[in-house]
Amino acid sequence: MLRPPTTSENVVHIYRHSTAIQEIFKRIVEQFTAMFRRKAFLHWYTGEGMDEMEFTEAESTLSYMNDLVSVYQQYQNATAYDEEKEDGYREEDYAEEEVPGEGLT
């Protein structure tokens, strides 16, 4: 069990919110769904006393994780939009323009 340091007078805590976790959630949902459809490794669990219905219930709760990924995606998109507004420009504004006569031989 981790305990806070008692010998130091200086302790720093960092709390950071990141939307990067959404990629991990997506991967978990995709991998579970793919393996459960193939019934991969299911015999090991049913052999130990679990019922297949428990996996079906777990699959239905994955919809919550999909909803969570959608929320994180909205936050990520909103942050990207806010940064764009703060900068005062968009990438499209600085797209390369064609120079007349360029590429002609």
What is the residue-level pLDDT of the chain in tens, covering all 105 positions?
677 666 767 767 666 667 788 888 899 999 999 999 999 999 999 999 999 999 999 988 888 888 888 888 888 888 666 666 655 555 555 555 555 555 555
Tell me the whole-structure pTM to 2 decimals.
0.55
Domain that includes residue 71, residue range? 21-81
pLDDT of 103: 55
CA 82 to CA 87: how far, in whole Å?
9
What are phi and psi for residue 15, nearest 5 degrees? -120, 120
Would residue 47 count as lying in a domain? Answer: yes
**Could you tell me the CATH number of the domain that includes residue 39?**
1.10.287.600
The pairs formed by 19-24 with CB atoms below 8 angstroms and a separation of 24 or more are 19/72, 19/73, 19/75, 19/76, 19/79, 21/72, 22/68, 22/69, 22/72, 22/73, 22/76
- Looking at residue 63, its amino acid is S
Which two three-digit tokens encode residue 47? 């052999």
Total domain count for the chain? 1
pLDDT of res. 100: 55
